[in-house]
Amino acid sequence: MEKNNPLYKEQGIHVISSLFTVEHGVVKVLLIKRKNEPYKDFWALVGGALYNNEDLETGIEREIEEKTGLTNLNLKLINVHGKVDRSPVMRMVAISYLGVIDINRVNFQESTLKTSAAEWFDIKDVKNLQLAYDHAEIIESAFHELKHQILKSNILTSLFPSGFTLPEIHQVYEAILEHPLDRRNFRRKLLSLNLVEDTGKYFNFAGKKPAKLYKFKENIEDTDIF
Amino acid sequence: MEKNNPLYKEQGIHVISSLFTVEHGVVKVLLIKRKNEPYKDFWALVGGALYNNEDLETGIEREIEEKTGLTNLNLKLINVHGKVDRSPVMRMVAISYLGVIDINRVNFQESTLKTSAAEWFDIKDVKNLQLAYDHAEIIESAFHELKHQILKSNILTSLFPSGFTLPEIHQVYEAILEHPLDRRNFRRKLLSLNLVEDTGKYFNFAGKKPAKLYKFKENIEDTDIF
DNA sequence: GCAAAAGTGTTCGCAATACACCCATGG
DNA sequence: CCATGGGTGTATTGCGAACACTTTTGC
């Protein structure tokens, strides 16, 4: 391995996260506005260059914490984007992670060295934005994978740190999958999986029957859900 | 992006393939013996450093062709391995691909600049070898993914370029999944998927009833198989 | 008491599973 | 003619899909 062979000199690694949330039945993705070149003033996913002294997971967690204040996320490696010209500066390969977070937990770090703003965008509006790098493609791939993940893993646990009602989580599934699910079958299925437990509490919406509050059990493993 | 920031200077990308075959009910993985440092004389997976002027897919296809003469493989991106110290030379992130090939198609290029031998190893024997880098871990992850892929994609098509009998492919499934499958149910299931077609030919084993020869249809899409 | 949404139970159909017998060939 | 392995059919079961009624609350 010759370090200075021009065939593979000056390469780098991006770690990039597509962070999703669901609010009032709308799937949203977190974007930040870049302060520096390249792609100054473009909206971009949360991420950046991997450091030499950190593992991939550490790197993406650091990037997310720097820009959102969030820690302890349940991230999943989902894809790699490595087209020759995806970065205008030098050859960069992007390792793409997926995460789902409760919108209320996010505490944006408004003024960092590299970003000037952070905002949630409706996934349907993202296609109208000019994003930095190949981030549009990365989001598309991540959203596609999100649909799989909610059927095959417990990725949604972090969406509801303080519990959820069945109508709420049902709406989340429909929003992400973009098609309706039968209420009663959904309910029976989810409860039969032994992933959630009744908290005994109820949650009141205005003028309607209160709904039971459930929460995910601790330490549940990834399993096929649907 | 400052090219010379020591935090992320001198990084590189490995593209690495776990190539599997199944012969007489035994799952095998292709390894090559390294001729150069680091890990001189260690067995290793087929792969190497990504060039700056090629996409990831192109890179892994080039590496495979250089070392085995094989082209037109159906490779799947399956994982990323990026621990800080996985390479002793410099920071390298490995992009791992999975492929399945017919053992008869392989035409080893015995004398290349970087390798001195290529050999198929029983997957069960690999754990007793000292492999280069973190290749043991990569193989384990790839084999795990192979079990999923034969249930959810048509990755096996390239195992049988000249067709197969149902007993043959049945044995392949059992070998990869490492557990028995009911012959009759397997048969019905596979034929009902519309993935294979009868060639009208028969294949004779010694002293037994000839088996029908089937082949995969052209241009079949990935679908859930089991 | 009525509108609105939560909660519950039953039927149906299909697909996976389990299982037993007949058939074609080489020796 | 027999041993070996290939090829076929059927009964059962469990799960997902479709579907309608009752309950609780705020107003």
- The Cα of A152 is separated from the nearest Cα of chain B by a number of Å equal to 13
**CATH of region B155-216:** 1.10.10.10
What is the per-residue pLDDT for A9? 92
Contact A12 B8 (CB under 8 A): yes
Which residues have a Cβ under 8 Å from the Cβ of A19 and sit 6 or more positions away? A29, A30, A45, A46, A64, A68, A73, A99, A100, A101
Where does chain A have alpha helices with state H?
56-68, 135-152, 166-177, 183-192
- In chain A, CATH 3.90.79.10 sits at 11-150
Mean model confidence pLDDT for chain B? 92
Find out whether B96 and B44 touch, Cβ atoms under 8 Å.
no
- The phi and psi torsions of A127 (rounded to 5 degrees) equal -65, -15
B186 pLDDT higher than 80: yes
Give me the CATH code for the A11-150 domain, please. 3.90.79.10
Question: What pTM did the predictor assign?
Answer: 0.94
Residue A79: exposure state from Cβ atoms within 10 A (0-12, 13-18, ≥19)? buried
Mean pLDDT of A97-104: 94
Interface touch B93/A93, C-beta < 8 Å: yes
- Spell out the residues 6+ positions from residue A56 whose beta carbon is closer than 8 angstroms to its own: A13, A15, A50, A77, A95, B80, B82, B93
Distance CA B222, CA B205 (A): 31
| B226 CA vs C16 C1’ separation (Å) | 10
| Interval A27-42: pLDDT, tens | 999 999 998 889 999 9
Per-residue pLDDT of B24-54, as tens digits, reads 999 999 999 998 889 999 999 999 999 999 9
pLDDT higher than threshold 70 for residue B113 = no
Where in chain A are all domains bearing CATH 1.10.10.10? Answer: 155-216
Band the pLDDT of A108: cuts 50, 70, 90: confident
Dihedral sign (CA B192, B198, B204, B208) = positive
Shortest distance between the Cα of A50 and any Cα of chain B, in A, equals 7
